[in-house]
Structure 1
Amino acid sequence: MPVLPAPYENAIAFSFGDSPELADDLLRRVLAGDKTASCGALRDFGADGEPMPEVGRRDVVLNGAGEPAAVIETTSVEIARFDALTPAFTDQEGEGDYRAWREGHEAYFARNGGFSPDMQLVCETFRLVDVLPAGRPVYNQVARPTFVVTDIESDGPTPLHNSMLSFASVAIDADGTPRGEFEAVLKPRPDRMQNETTMAWWQTQPEAWAAATHNPEAPDVVMPRYADWVEALPGPHVFVAAPMIFDGLWMDHYLDEFAGTRVLSGPFKGRQIFRGGGVCLYTMAGTLRGAPYLDWGMSKLPSEFYGDIAHTHKAIDDARGFANVLVELFKLSRTLPPISGSVADFR
Protein backbone atom coordinates (compact mmCIF):
# COMPACT_ATOMS: atom_id res chain seq x y z
CA MET A 1 0.00 0.00 0.00
CA PRO A 2 1.29 3.49 -0.80
CA VAL A 3 2.17 5.87 2.02
CA LEU A 4 -0.34 8.71 1.88
CA PRO A 5 0.69 12.25 2.85
CA ALA A 6 -1.01 14.34 5.54
CA PRO A 7 -3.84 15.10 5.87
CA TYR A 8 -4.91 12.12 3.73
CA GLU A 9 -3.26 9.30 5.72
CA ASN A 10 -6.58 7.54 6.28
CA ALA A 11 -8.12 8.22 2.87
CA ILE A 12 -9.14 5.54 0.41
CA ALA A 13 -6.53 5.27 -2.36
CA PHE A 14 -7.22 3.90 -5.84
CA SER A 15 -6.17 4.20 -9.46
CA PHE A 16 -8.41 4.55 -12.50
CA GLY A 17 -8.56 1.79 -15.11
CA ASP A 18 -6.99 -1.66 -15.14
CA SER A 19 -3.42 -0.97 -16.26
CA PRO A 20 -0.65 1.51 -15.42
CA GLU A 21 -1.04 3.10 -18.84
CA LEU A 22 -4.79 3.61 -18.44
CA ALA A 23 -4.31 4.85 -14.87
CA ASP A 24 -1.92 7.54 -16.10
CA ASP A 25 -4.13 8.49 -19.04
CA LEU A 26 -7.26 8.92 -16.92
CA LEU A 27 -5.35 10.73 -14.18
CA ARG A 28 -4.06 13.15 -16.80
CA ARG A 29 -7.64 13.86 -17.86
CA VAL A 30 -8.60 14.54 -14.24
CA LEU A 31 -5.67 16.91 -13.79
CA ALA A 32 -6.55 18.70 -17.03
CA GLY A 33 -10.11 19.26 -15.79
CA ASP A 34 -11.60 17.14 -18.58
CA LYS A 35 -12.66 14.21 -16.40
CA THR A 36 -15.06 14.90 -13.54
CA ALA A 37 -16.97 11.61 -13.50
CA SER A 38 -16.38 7.87 -13.43
CA CYS A 39 -18.40 4.68 -13.34
CA GLY A 40 -17.82 1.10 -12.26
CA ALA A 41 -19.75 -2.16 -12.26
CA LEU A 42 -22.00 -2.41 -9.21
CA ARG A 43 -20.86 -6.02 -8.75
CA ASP A 44 -17.36 -4.77 -7.90
CA PHE A 45 -18.51 -2.76 -4.89
CA GLY A 46 -19.49 -3.92 -1.43
CA ALA A 47 -18.07 -5.77 1.55
CA ASP A 48 -15.76 -7.95 -0.54
CA GLY A 49 -14.93 -5.36 -3.18
CA GLU A 50 -14.30 -1.67 -3.53
CA PRO A 51 -15.88 0.74 -1.04
CA MET A 52 -18.88 2.58 -2.42
CA PRO A 53 -18.21 6.25 -3.15
CA GLU A 54 -19.81 8.69 -0.72
CA VAL A 55 -20.75 12.31 -1.35
CA GLY A 56 -18.26 14.58 0.40
CA ARG A 57 -15.59 11.91 0.86
CA ARG A 58 -12.10 12.70 -0.38
CA ASP A 59 -10.11 9.89 -2.02
CA VAL A 60 -6.50 9.76 -3.19
CA VAL A 61 -5.89 8.95 -6.86
CA LEU A 62 -2.73 6.98 -7.62
CA ASN A 63 -0.77 7.22 -10.85
CA GLY A 64 0.31 4.22 -12.90
CA ALA A 65 3.34 3.71 -10.66
CA GLY A 66 1.13 3.54 -7.56
CA GLU A 67 2.17 6.97 -6.27
CA PRO A 68 -0.35 9.37 -4.66
CA ALA A 69 -0.97 12.00 -7.32
CA ALA A 70 -4.26 13.79 -6.66
CA VAL A 71 -7.22 14.09 -4.31
CA ILE A 72 -10.82 14.13 -5.50
CA GLU A 73 -14.04 14.81 -3.61
CA THR A 74 -17.21 12.96 -4.58
CA THR A 75 -20.08 15.31 -5.45
CA SER A 76 -22.80 12.84 -6.50
CA VAL A 77 -23.46 9.10 -6.65
CA GLU A 78 -26.22 7.17 -8.40
CA ILE A 79 -26.91 3.67 -9.68
CA ALA A 80 -27.89 3.38 -13.35
CA ARG A 81 -28.03 0.80 -16.13
CA PHE A 82 -25.26 0.95 -18.71
CA ASP A 83 -27.71 1.39 -21.58
CA ALA A 84 -29.57 4.17 -19.73
CA LEU A 85 -26.60 6.52 -19.54
CA THR A 86 -26.65 9.52 -21.86
CA PRO A 87 -24.05 12.10 -22.89
CA ALA A 88 -25.23 14.24 -19.97
CA PHE A 89 -23.16 11.88 -17.81
CA THR A 90 -20.70 10.27 -20.21
CA ASP A 91 -19.36 13.63 -21.44
CA GLN A 92 -18.25 14.32 -17.87
CA GLU A 93 -16.00 11.26 -18.04
CA GLY A 94 -13.83 13.16 -20.52
CA GLU A 95 -13.09 10.14 -22.67
CA GLY A 96 -14.39 11.25 -26.05
CA ASP A 97 -17.88 11.40 -27.52
CA TYR A 98 -20.65 8.97 -26.57
CA ARG A 99 -19.65 6.40 -29.19
CA ALA A 100 -16.03 6.38 -28.03
CA TRP A 101 -17.12 6.21 -24.39
CA ARG A 102 -19.43 3.26 -25.07
CA GLU A 103 -16.86 1.30 -27.07
CA GLY A 104 -14.17 1.87 -24.48
CA HIS A 105 -16.37 0.90 -21.54
CA GLU A 106 -17.83 -2.17 -23.23
CA ALA A 107 -14.29 -3.42 -23.78
CA TYR A 108 -13.25 -2.51 -20.24
CA PHE A 109 -16.14 -4.33 -18.57
CA ALA A 110 -15.78 -7.32 -20.93
CA ARG A 111 -12.23 -7.91 -19.73
CA ASN A 112 -13.12 -7.25 -16.08
CA GLY A 113 -15.93 -9.65 -15.27
CA GLY A 114 -18.19 -9.40 -18.29
CA PHE A 115 -20.37 -6.87 -20.09
CA SER A 116 -24.11 -6.66 -20.70
CA PRO A 117 -26.12 -3.61 -21.81
CA ASP A 118 -28.39 -3.85 -18.77
CA MET A 119 -25.60 -4.15 -16.20
CA GLN A 120 -25.86 -1.87 -13.18
CA LEU A 121 -23.22 0.83 -12.77
CA VAL A 122 -22.16 3.03 -9.88
CA CYS A 123 -21.95 6.49 -11.44
CA GLU A 124 -19.94 9.10 -9.57
CA THR A 125 -19.13 12.75 -10.20
CA PHE A 126 -16.27 14.45 -8.41
CA ARG A 127 -14.08 17.52 -8.27
CA LEU A 128 -10.33 17.85 -8.00
CA VAL A 129 -9.39 19.35 -4.63
CA ASP A 130 -5.64 18.79 -4.33
CA VAL A 131 -2.64 17.87 -6.46
CA LEU A 132 0.05 15.86 -4.69
CA PRO A 133 3.78 15.89 -5.55
CA ALA A 134 3.64 12.92 -7.94
CA GLY A 135 0.89 14.62 -9.93
CA ARG A 136 2.35 18.12 -10.15
CA PRO A 137 4.59 17.67 -13.22
CA VAL A 138 1.62 16.49 -15.29
CA TYR A 139 -0.72 19.05 -13.73
CA ASN A 140 1.61 21.91 -14.62
CA GLN A 141 1.59 20.73 -18.25
CA VAL A 142 -2.11 20.11 -18.78
CA ALA A 143 -4.10 22.24 -16.34
CA ARG A 144 -5.97 25.19 -17.82
CA PRO A 145 -6.12 28.00 -15.25
CA THR A 146 -9.22 29.98 -14.45
CA PHE A 147 -8.37 33.65 -14.02
CA VAL A 148 -10.55 35.34 -11.40
CA VAL A 149 -10.49 39.01 -12.37
CA THR A 150 -11.64 41.09 -9.41
CA ASP A 151 -12.51 44.69 -8.62
CA ILE A 152 -13.37 46.09 -5.19
CA GLU A 153 -14.87 49.31 -3.87
CA SER A 154 -14.15 50.66 -0.39
CA ASP A 155 -14.74 53.63 1.89
CA GLY A 156 -11.03 54.24 2.40
CA PRO A 157 -7.53 53.24 1.30
CA THR A 158 -6.69 50.41 3.71
CA PRO A 159 -8.44 47.37 5.21
CA LEU A 160 -6.66 48.08 8.49
CA HIS A 161 -8.80 51.17 9.09
CA ASN A 162 -11.63 51.16 6.52
CA SER A 163 -14.27 48.82 5.06
CA MET A 164 -14.71 47.08 1.73
CA LEU A 165 -18.12 48.07 0.39
CA SER A 166 -18.50 45.77 -2.61
CA PHE A 167 -16.57 43.52 -4.96
CA ALA A 168 -17.08 41.49 -8.10
CA SER A 169 -15.12 38.73 -9.81
CA VAL A 170 -15.31 37.57 -13.43
CA ALA A 171 -13.85 34.10 -14.04
CA ILE A 172 -12.44 33.38 -17.50
CA ASP A 173 -9.83 31.21 -19.16
CA ALA A 174 -6.87 32.67 -21.04
CA ASP A 175 -8.91 32.90 -24.25
CA GLY A 176 -11.77 34.74 -22.56
CA THR A 177 -14.19 31.83 -22.27
CA PRO A 178 -16.49 32.78 -19.37
CA ARG A 179 -16.58 30.47 -16.36
CA GLY A 180 -18.75 32.48 -14.00
CA GLU A 181 -19.31 35.74 -12.16
CA PHE A 182 -19.68 36.66 -8.50
CA GLU A 183 -20.67 39.98 -6.99
CA ALA A 184 -21.55 41.11 -3.48
CA VAL A 185 -22.23 44.19 -1.38
CA LEU A 186 -20.84 44.13 2.16
CA LYS A 187 -21.92 45.69 5.41
CA PRO A 188 -19.27 48.10 6.72
CA ARG A 189 -17.26 46.72 9.59
CA PRO A 190 -18.25 48.23 12.95
CA ASP A 191 -14.59 48.34 14.01
CA ARG A 192 -13.58 50.47 11.00
CA MET A 193 -14.10 54.13 10.03
CA GLN A 194 -14.85 55.90 6.77
CA ASN A 195 -12.02 57.90 5.23
CA GLU A 196 -12.94 61.56 4.79
CA THR A 197 -11.15 62.01 1.46
CA THR A 198 -12.59 58.82 -0.01
CA MET A 199 -16.11 59.75 1.10
CA ALA A 200 -15.77 63.17 -0.53
CA TRP A 201 -14.90 61.39 -3.79
CA TRP A 202 -17.89 59.06 -3.42
CA GLN A 203 -20.16 62.12 -3.35
CA THR A 204 -19.16 62.70 -6.99
CA GLN A 205 -20.21 59.13 -7.92
CA PRO A 206 -23.87 58.77 -6.82
CA GLU A 207 -24.75 55.84 -9.12
CA ALA A 208 -21.64 53.88 -8.20
CA TRP A 209 -22.22 54.63 -4.50
CA ALA A 210 -25.77 53.31 -4.76
CA ALA A 211 -24.51 50.11 -6.39
CA ALA A 212 -21.79 49.68 -3.75
CA THR A 213 -24.16 50.04 -0.79
CA HIS A 214 -27.48 48.50 -1.85
CA ASN A 215 -28.70 45.46 0.10
CA PRO A 216 -25.43 44.67 1.91
CA GLU A 217 -24.59 41.35 3.58
CA ALA A 218 -22.25 40.55 6.44
CA PRO A 219 -18.65 39.79 5.39
CA ASP A 220 -18.62 36.59 7.45
CA VAL A 221 -21.49 35.33 5.28
CA VAL A 222 -20.23 36.54 1.90
CA MET A 223 -16.55 35.63 2.04
CA PRO A 224 -17.01 31.89 2.79
CA ARG A 225 -19.59 31.77 0.00
CA TYR A 226 -17.11 33.42 -2.33
CA ALA A 227 -14.36 30.96 -1.35
CA ASP A 228 -16.71 28.07 -2.13
CA TRP A 229 -17.52 29.63 -5.51
CA VAL A 230 -13.84 30.00 -6.39
CA GLU A 231 -13.06 26.46 -5.27
CA ALA A 232 -15.80 25.06 -7.53
CA LEU A 233 -14.34 26.71 -10.65
CA PRO A 234 -12.41 24.42 -13.03
CA GLY A 235 -8.63 24.26 -13.14
CA PRO A 236 -6.17 26.06 -10.90
CA HIS A 237 -7.52 29.46 -9.87
CA VAL A 238 -5.43 32.60 -10.38
CA PHE A 239 -6.38 35.92 -8.80
CA VAL A 240 -6.16 38.99 -11.06
CA ALA A 241 -6.55 42.65 -10.12
CA ALA A 242 -5.59 46.15 -11.27
CA PRO A 243 -3.57 46.87 -9.29
CA MET A 244 -2.83 43.82 -7.17
CA ILE A 245 -1.49 45.96 -4.33
CA PHE A 246 -4.93 47.56 -3.83
CA ASP A 247 -7.73 45.18 -4.81
CA GLY A 248 -5.64 42.11 -4.01
CA LEU A 249 -4.71 43.50 -0.60
CA TRP A 250 -8.36 44.08 0.30
CA MET A 251 -9.49 40.65 -0.87
CA ASP A 252 -6.58 38.92 0.86
CA HIS A 253 -7.43 40.64 4.13
CA TYR A 254 -11.15 39.84 3.97
CA LEU A 255 -10.59 36.23 2.90
CA ASP A 256 -8.09 35.73 5.71
CA GLU A 257 -10.33 37.40 8.27
CA PHE A 258 -13.67 35.85 7.34
CA ALA A 259 -13.04 32.67 5.29
CA GLY A 260 -9.78 31.22 6.58
CA THR A 261 -8.02 31.45 3.22
CA ARG A 262 -6.05 33.96 1.18
CA VAL A 263 -5.48 35.42 -2.28
CA LEU A 264 -1.83 34.39 -1.97
CA SER A 265 -0.89 30.72 -2.01
CA GLY A 266 2.26 29.27 -0.53
CA PRO A 267 3.59 27.11 2.29
CA PHE A 268 0.74 28.06 4.60
CA LYS A 269 -1.54 25.84 6.62
CA GLY A 270 -5.20 25.67 5.82
CA ARG A 271 -7.38 26.17 2.79
CA GLN A 272 -5.82 27.55 -0.40
CA ILE A 273 -8.23 28.53 -3.16
CA PHE A 274 -5.80 30.41 -5.43
CA ARG A 275 -2.56 29.36 -7.10
CA GLY A 276 0.61 31.42 -6.96
CA GLY A 277 0.98 35.12 -6.33
CA GLY A 278 -1.69 36.32 -8.73
CA VAL A 279 -1.54 38.67 -11.71
CA CYS A 280 -1.24 42.45 -11.45
CA LEU A 281 -2.91 43.83 -14.58
CA TYR A 282 -1.32 47.23 -13.98
CA THR A 283 2.18 45.73 -14.21
CA MET A 284 1.32 43.32 -17.02
CA ALA A 285 -0.22 46.09 -19.13
CA GLY A 286 2.67 48.48 -18.57
CA THR A 287 5.37 45.99 -19.53
CA LEU A 288 3.57 44.50 -22.54
CA ARG A 289 2.88 48.00 -23.87
CA GLY A 290 6.62 48.59 -23.77
CA ALA A 291 6.03 51.80 -21.84
CA PRO A 292 8.43 53.38 -19.32
CA TYR A 293 7.24 52.98 -15.74
CA LEU A 294 6.05 56.58 -15.35
CA ASP A 295 3.80 56.07 -18.37
CA TRP A 296 2.10 52.97 -16.98
CA GLY A 297 -1.58 53.12 -16.12
CA MET A 298 -4.78 51.31 -16.99
CA SER A 299 -6.17 54.50 -18.54
CA LYS A 300 -3.40 54.37 -21.16
CA LEU A 301 -4.93 51.28 -22.79
CA PRO A 302 -7.26 51.71 -25.80
CA SER A 303 -10.97 51.36 -25.07
CA GLU A 304 -11.25 48.30 -27.30
CA PHE A 305 -9.01 46.44 -24.84
CA TYR A 306 -11.84 46.85 -22.33
CA GLY A 307 -14.40 45.58 -24.81
CA ASP A 308 -15.66 49.17 -24.79
CA ILE A 309 -17.00 48.65 -21.25
CA ALA A 310 -16.86 51.96 -19.41
CA HIS A 311 -15.01 52.14 -16.08
CA THR A 312 -17.99 53.12 -13.90
CA HIS A 313 -16.64 52.26 -10.42
CA LYS A 314 -19.40 49.68 -10.20
CA ALA A 315 -17.47 46.56 -9.27
CA ILE A 316 -19.06 44.21 -11.80
CA ASP A 317 -18.61 46.65 -14.71
CA ASP A 318 -14.98 47.24 -13.88
CA ALA A 319 -14.25 43.53 -13.36
CA ARG A 320 -15.75 42.73 -16.77
CA GLY A 321 -13.67 45.42 -18.43
CA PHE A 322 -10.49 44.21 -16.75
CA ALA A 323 -11.28 40.63 -17.81
CA ASN A 324 -11.33 41.80 -21.43
CA VAL A 325 -8.01 43.58 -20.86
CA LEU A 326 -6.44 40.37 -19.55
CA VAL A 327 -7.45 38.49 -22.70
CA GLU A 328 -5.95 41.20 -24.92
CA LEU A 329 -2.72 41.17 -22.91
CA PHE A 330 -2.46 37.40 -23.26
CA LYS A 331 -2.75 37.86 -27.02
CA LEU A 332 0.19 40.27 -26.89
CA SER A 333 2.25 37.95 -24.70
CA ARG A 334 1.84 35.06 -27.15
CA THR A 335 3.62 37.10 -29.83
CA LEU A 336 6.79 37.32 -27.73
CA PRO A 337 9.60 34.75 -27.87
CA PRO A 338 9.54 32.43 -24.85
CA ILE A 339 12.21 32.78 -22.17
CA SER A 340 13.17 29.74 -20.14
CA GLY A 341 15.30 29.10 -17.08
CA SER A 342 15.74 26.62 -14.28
CA VAL A 343 15.71 26.39 -10.52
CA ALA A 344 19.50 26.42 -10.65
CA ASP A 345 19.42 29.73 -12.55
CA PHE A 346 17.09 31.21 -9.93
CA ARG A 347 19.23 30.15 -6.99
Structure 2
Amino acid sequence: MPYIMVDVEADGPIPGDYSMISFGAVIVESELGRSFYGQLRPISEKFVPEALAVSGFTRDETLQFDDPAAVMGRFDAWLQEHCPGRAIFVSDNNGFDWQFINWYFHHFLGKNPFGHSSVNLGSLYKGLVQDSFKNFKHLRKTKHTHHPVDDARGNAEALLQMKELGLKIRWD
Protein backbone atom coordinates (compact mmCIF):
# COMPACT_ATOMS: atom_id res chain seq x y z
CA MET A 1 0.00 0.00 0.00
CA PRO A 2 1.82 3.10 -1.20
CA TYR A 3 1.77 6.31 0.79
CA ILE A 4 0.71 9.37 -1.19
CA MET A 5 1.79 12.69 0.29
CA VAL A 6 -0.78 15.35 -0.59
CA ASP A 7 -0.87 19.12 -0.21
CA VAL A 8 -3.85 21.37 -1.02
CA GLU A 9 -4.15 25.10 -1.68
CA ALA A 10 -7.66 26.54 -1.35
CA ASP A 11 -9.39 29.90 -1.42
CA GLY A 12 -11.26 29.38 1.84
CA PRO A 13 -11.62 27.17 4.90
CA ILE A 14 -14.07 24.47 3.74
CA PRO A 15 -14.96 22.64 0.53
CA GLY A 16 -18.27 23.32 -1.15
CA ASP A 17 -18.62 26.89 0.05
CA TYR A 18 -15.06 27.56 -1.11
CA SER A 19 -12.78 26.02 -3.71
CA MET A 20 -9.68 23.88 -3.90
CA ILE A 21 -7.42 25.89 -6.21
CA SER A 22 -4.59 23.42 -6.65
CA PHE A 23 -3.15 20.29 -5.15
CA GLY A 24 -0.08 18.17 -5.44
CA ALA A 25 0.62 14.54 -4.69
CA VAL A 26 3.91 12.66 -4.44
CA ILE A 27 4.34 8.91 -4.11
CA VAL A 28 6.54 8.32 -1.07
CA GLU A 29 9.48 6.29 -2.31
CA SER A 30 13.23 6.84 -2.25
CA GLU A 31 13.53 8.89 -5.46
CA LEU A 32 10.26 10.87 -5.07
CA GLY A 33 10.03 10.96 -8.85
CA ARG A 34 6.30 10.37 -9.33
CA SER A 35 4.06 13.34 -8.73
CA PHE A 36 0.70 14.78 -9.77
CA TYR A 37 -0.32 18.43 -9.98
CA GLY A 38 -3.81 19.76 -10.54
CA GLN A 39 -5.19 23.27 -10.89
CA LEU A 40 -8.96 23.50 -10.49
CA ARG A 41 -11.40 26.19 -11.56
CA PRO A 42 -13.38 27.54 -8.58
CA ILE A 43 -16.72 25.89 -7.82
CA SER A 44 -18.09 28.83 -5.84
CA GLU A 45 -18.36 32.57 -6.14
CA LYS A 46 -17.12 32.87 -2.55
CA PHE A 47 -13.44 33.20 -1.70
CA VAL A 48 -11.30 34.66 1.05
CA PRO A 49 -8.71 36.98 -0.54
CA GLU A 50 -6.07 36.22 2.10
CA ALA A 51 -6.51 32.46 1.61
CA LEU A 52 -6.31 32.77 -2.16
CA ALA A 53 -3.18 34.93 -1.87
CA VAL A 54 -1.33 32.03 -0.21
CA SER A 55 -1.66 30.06 -3.47
CA GLY A 56 0.06 32.84 -5.43
CA PHE A 57 -2.78 33.05 -7.94
CA THR A 58 -5.29 35.78 -8.62
CA ARG A 59 -9.02 35.09 -8.84
CA ASP A 60 -8.91 35.80 -12.58
CA GLU A 61 -6.12 33.26 -13.04
CA THR A 62 -8.03 30.57 -11.15
CA LEU A 63 -11.10 31.12 -13.32
CA GLN A 64 -8.99 29.86 -16.25
CA PHE A 65 -8.00 26.62 -14.48
CA ASP A 66 -9.30 23.20 -15.53
CA ASP A 67 -12.73 21.77 -14.83
CA PRO A 68 -12.63 20.20 -11.34
CA ALA A 69 -14.35 16.98 -12.47
CA ALA A 70 -11.73 16.49 -15.19
CA VAL A 71 -8.85 17.14 -12.76
CA MET A 72 -10.22 14.69 -10.21
CA GLY A 73 -10.71 12.13 -12.97
CA ARG A 74 -7.08 12.53 -14.03
CA PHE A 75 -5.94 12.23 -10.42
CA ASP A 76 -7.98 9.05 -9.98
CA ALA A 77 -6.49 7.60 -13.20
CA TRP A 78 -2.98 8.56 -12.04
CA LEU A 79 -3.55 6.81 -8.70
CA GLN A 80 -4.84 3.68 -10.45
CA GLU A 81 -1.84 3.65 -12.80
CA HIS A 82 0.82 4.19 -10.14
CA CYS A 83 -0.74 2.67 -7.02
CA PRO A 84 -2.34 -0.72 -7.57
CA GLY A 85 -4.62 -1.50 -4.66
CA ARG A 86 -5.45 1.08 -2.05
CA ALA A 87 -3.15 4.04 -1.52
CA ILE A 88 -2.73 5.71 1.87
CA PHE A 89 -3.38 9.46 2.04
CA VAL A 90 -0.90 11.33 4.22
CA SER A 91 -0.34 15.05 4.66
CA ASP A 92 1.08 17.69 6.96
CA ASN A 93 -2.39 19.01 7.78
CA ASN A 94 -4.72 16.16 6.96
CA GLY A 95 -7.65 17.87 8.67
CA PHE A 96 -7.52 20.50 5.94
CA ASP A 97 -6.10 18.64 2.94
CA TRP A 98 -8.20 15.51 3.43
CA GLN A 99 -11.49 17.38 3.63
CA PHE A 100 -10.95 18.99 0.23
CA ILE A 101 -9.67 15.89 -1.57
CA ASN A 102 -12.37 13.70 -0.03
CA TRP A 103 -15.17 16.16 -0.84
CA TYR A 104 -13.99 16.72 -4.42
CA PHE A 105 -13.61 13.00 -5.10
CA HIS A 106 -17.07 12.21 -3.74
CA HIS A 107 -18.72 15.23 -5.32
CA PHE A 108 -17.25 14.79 -8.80
CA LEU A 109 -16.55 11.04 -9.03
CA GLY A 110 -18.87 9.52 -6.43
CA LYS A 111 -15.99 7.76 -4.65
CA ASN A 112 -12.69 8.37 -2.94
CA PRO A 113 -9.92 5.95 -3.93
CA PHE A 114 -8.23 6.62 -0.58
CA GLY A 115 -11.19 5.17 1.30
CA HIS A 116 -12.33 6.80 4.53
CA SER A 117 -9.13 7.61 6.37
CA SER A 118 -5.93 9.60 6.27
CA VAL A 119 -2.66 9.91 8.16
CA ASN A 120 -1.26 13.05 9.78
CA LEU A 121 2.48 13.49 9.25
CA GLY A 122 2.97 15.62 12.35
CA SER A 123 1.28 13.04 14.56
CA LEU A 124 3.55 10.31 13.18
CA TYR A 125 6.59 12.37 14.15
CA LYS A 126 5.27 13.20 17.62
CA GLY A 127 4.74 9.48 18.23
CA LEU A 128 8.15 8.59 16.85
CA VAL A 129 9.97 11.01 19.16
CA GLN A 130 7.45 10.52 21.98
CA ASP A 131 6.94 14.23 22.45
CA SER A 132 3.70 15.96 21.53
CA PHE A 133 5.47 19.33 21.39
CA LYS A 134 7.99 18.37 18.67
CA ASN A 135 7.65 19.39 15.04
CA PHE A 136 8.90 17.44 11.99
CA LYS A 137 9.41 20.38 9.63
CA HIS A 138 13.19 20.49 10.12
CA LEU A 139 13.30 17.12 8.28
CA ARG A 140 12.20 18.68 4.98
CA LYS A 141 14.82 19.25 2.28
CA THR A 142 12.63 20.94 -0.33
CA LYS A 143 11.71 24.50 0.58
CA HIS A 144 8.07 25.05 1.61
CA THR A 145 6.87 27.36 -1.19
CA HIS A 146 3.07 26.87 -1.14
CA HIS A 147 3.34 25.22 -4.53
CA PRO A 148 1.60 21.99 -3.58
CA VAL A 149 4.05 19.65 -5.32
CA ASP A 150 7.01 21.32 -3.60
CA ASP A 151 5.24 21.12 -0.26
CA ALA A 152 4.18 17.50 -0.76
CA ARG A 153 7.74 16.60 -1.81
CA GLY A 154 9.21 18.27 1.29
CA ASN A 155 6.76 16.41 3.49
CA ALA A 156 7.55 13.13 1.71
CA GLU A 157 11.24 13.79 2.40
CA ALA A 158 10.38 14.22 6.06
CA LEU A 159 8.51 10.89 6.09
CA LEU A 160 11.50 9.17 4.51
CA GLN A 161 13.71 10.72 7.22
CA MET A 162 11.31 9.43 9.88
CA LYS A 163 11.73 5.94 8.48
CA GLU A 164 15.51 6.35 8.80
CA LEU A 165 14.98 7.47 12.41
CA GLY A 166 13.16 4.22 13.17
CA LEU A 167 9.51 4.71 12.18
CA LYS A 168 8.21 1.28 11.25
CA ILE A 169 6.53 1.97 7.93
CA ARG A 170 6.54 0.14 4.63
CA TRP A 171 5.21 0.91 1.20
CA ASP A 172 5.87 -2.19 -0.82
Q: TM-score, normalised by structure 1?
A: 0.44
Does residue 283 (structure 1) correspond to residue 133 (structure 2)? The answer is no
Does residue 229 (structure 1) correspond to residue 78 (structure 2)? The answer is yes
How has the CA–CA distance of structure 1 residues 211 and 225 changed in structure 2, closer, same or farther, with 3 Å as cutoff? Answer: farther
Q: Which of the residues 14, 19, 22 maps onto 1:163?
A: 19
2:58, 2:27 → 1: CA distance?
21
CA contact (8 A) 2:128 2:167 kept: no
Which residue matches 1:243?
93
Q: Percent identity?
A: 25
How has the CA–CA distance of structure 1 residues 234 and 184 changed in structure 2, closer, same or farther, with 3 Å as cutoff? Answer: closer
- Counterpart of 1:210 in 2: which secondary structure? coil
Is the strand fraction higher in 1 or 2?
A: 1
CA drift of 1:160 comes to: 3.4
Which residue matches 1:210?
57
CA contact (8 A) 1:238 1:276 kept: no
How has the CA–CA distance of structure 1 residues 287 and 185 changed in structure 2, closer, same or farther, with 3 Å as cutoff? Answer: same
Residue deviations 1:120-162, cap 9 Å, x none? xxxxxxxxxxxxxxxxxxxxxxxxx221111000011111321
- Counterpart of 1:165 in 2: which secondary structure? strand
2:79, 2:20 → 1: CA distance?
19
CA drift of 1:297 comes to: 4.2
- Counterpart of 1:291 in 2: which secondary structure? coil
Which residue matches 1:146?
2
CA contact (8 A) 1:238 1:279 kept: yes
Does residue 181 (structure 1) correspond to residue 31 (structure 2)? The answer is no
User: Aligned-residue CA RMSD in angstroms?
Assistant: 2.4
1:288, 1:306 → 2: CA distance?
16
How has the CA–CA distance of structure 1 residues 162 and 234 changed in structure 2, closer, same or farther, with 3 Å as cutoff? Answer: closer
2:46, 2:135 → 1: CA distance?
29
Letter in 1 for 2:46: M
- Counterpart of 2:17 in 1: which secondary structure? coil
How has the CA–CA distance of structure 1 residues 282 and 259 changed in structure 2, closer, same or farther, with 3 Å as cutoff? Answer: same
CA contact (8 A) 1:150 1:240 kept: yes
1:150, 1:211 → 2: CA distance?
22
CA contact (8 A) 1:211 1:314 kept: no
Pairs aligned (count): 165
CA contact (8 A) 2:7 2:148 kept: yes
Q: Which of the residues 252, 260, 267 maps onto 2:110?
A: 260
Does residue 200 (structure 1) correspond to residue 50 (structure 2)? The answer is yes
Answer 1 or 2: higher relative contact order, Cα 8 Å, separation at least 6. 2
CA contact (8 A) 1:179 1:233 kept: no
CA contact (8 A) 1:146 1:233 kept: no
Range with greater deviation from structure 2 (325-334 or 150-159): 325-334
Which residue matches 2:159?
326
Residue deviations 1:218-258, cap 9 Å, x none? 10111011101101114441111112111011100001111
Give the unaligned 5+ runs of structure 2.
Answer: none
1:167, 1:279 → 2: CA distance?
17
